[in-house]
Homo-oligomer: A and B are copies of this chain.
Amino acid sequence: MSQILTLGLPSGSLMESTIDLFDKAGFSISTSKRSYRPSVDDPELGLRLLRAQEISRYVEHGYLDAGLTGRDWVAENASDVHEIIELPFSKATARPTRWVLVVPEASEIHSVKDLEGKRVATEAVGLTRRFFEKAGVNVEIEFSWGATEVKVPDLVDAIVDITETGSSLRANKLRIVETLMESFPVLIVNKQAWADPVKRAKLENIALLLKGALNARDLVGLKMNLPEANLKNLLEALPALRNPTVSPLAQSGWVAVETIIEEKVVREIIPRLKALGAEGIIEYPLNKVVY
């Protein structure tokens, strides 16, 4: 079985969680230090570790078939690629990366128009240029090599930067003027590879398994025994228990009810299950859930 697909993965802050997600999906990736070609236990896959910023460029130009990167960097590079699936990694919040136009709290700039003739620093020059062009505002945009948030107001008038939470903004006494874009990680592919049925089938399977592993992070299994007479009552009262598997038990008049449920609602559901006559309620962890 020979290699079918080259796939770019992000080497920076997303690398650990990407490898972890692939592991949960059933693909064991091992990287050595400075490794550009991590090995994976699937001979059909050829992996490349690259900066998230560059992956869409190399996918578009055909150096890679597909890649996992942020939707923001696809936009920054204006890459003409197909997006297969969105993969919201962050379990707790499931919040996207936000690109925002930011000024000092005390600045007199309150709208995009106020930036006419001013200087803006950003790591995403493309995104920023298109944003201001669309707004019809002339600004001087300079590329920032990093630590962008410290440059206002000393070196520039405003910045366009990522903010995941508001805490970093507050710590730097900054204020958001406008949001340019919200972005989740995405699995992308170029047009030729997507048109190839073998590559497409392989990518669809990978997407199915990644999604199955992502689903399982927020879900748990729930099992209980119930007097059959209470079943209808319980299902009406608890719509969160959608499509439970109901099995007859050897003990007459009782059924076993089993379902998959969001972990965060379990603490609401269990007391109500108990009140509705359920016994032997157990919750157990999951590796994958494919609907």
Interface size class of A (residues with CB under 8 A): 35 or more
**A147-B11, A147-B50 in contact; A212/B284 too (CB < 8 A)?**
no
Residue among A209, A273, A283, A289 having the largest count of chain B Cβ atoms under 10 Å:
A283
* Copies of this polypeptide in the complex: 6
* A41 proximal to B (CB < 8 A): yes
Q: Which residues of the partner chain B approach A204 to less than 8 Å between Cβ atoms?
A: 271
Chain B residues positioned under 8 Å from A267 (CB to CB): 25-27, 42, 205, 209
Once the chains are docked, how many angstroms separate the CA of A153 from the CA of B167?
Answer: 23
In angstroms, how far is the closest chain B Cβ from the Cβ of A21? 13
| Separation of A61 and B281 alpha carbons in the complex (Å) | 37
Q: Which chain B residues lie closer than 8 Å to A41 at the CB level?
A: 92, 264
Measured between C-beta atoms, what is the minimum distance from A268 to chain B in Å?
Answer: 8
The one of B27, B50, B220, B248 that contacts A250, using a Cβ cutoff of 8 Å = B248
Chain B contacts for A127, CB-based, 8 A: none
Q: Tell yes or no: A169 within 8 A of B by CB.
A: no
Q: How far is the CB of A265 from chain B (nearest CB, A)?
A: 9
A248-B247, A248-B248, A280-B245 known; A34 vs B150 contact (CB < 8 Å): yes
Query: How many angstroms from the CA of A249 to the CA of B257 in the assembled complex?
Result: 9
Please determine whether B92 and A208 come into contact, CB atoms closer than 8 angstroms: no
Is A13 an interface residue when CB atoms closer than 8 A count as contact? no
Contact A209 B270 (CB under 8 A): yes
Contact A243 B287 (CB under 8 A): no
Whether the Cβ atoms of A246 and B251 lie closer than 8 Å is yes
A129: interface (CB < 8 Å): no
> B284 touching A51 by the CB < 8 A rule?
no
Q: Contacting A291 at CB < 8 Å: which of B147, B220, B280?
A: B280
Residues of B within 8 A of A249 (CB): 245-247
CA distance A284 to B219 in the complex (A): 11
Q: Is A240 an interface residue (CB 8 A)?
A: no
**Interface assignment of A182: CB less than 8 Å from any CB of chain B:** no
Are A28 and B92 in contact, with the CB atoms below 8 A? Answer: yes
Q: Does A155 contact B (CB under 8 A)?
A: yes
Q: A48-B154, A216-B283, A247-B248 are in contact. List 13 more A-B contacts (CB 8 A).
A: A34-B150, A49-B150, A51-B145, A63-B155, A209-B267, A212-B281, A212-B283, A243-B280, A247-B249, A247-B256, A266-B288, A282-B286, A283-B289
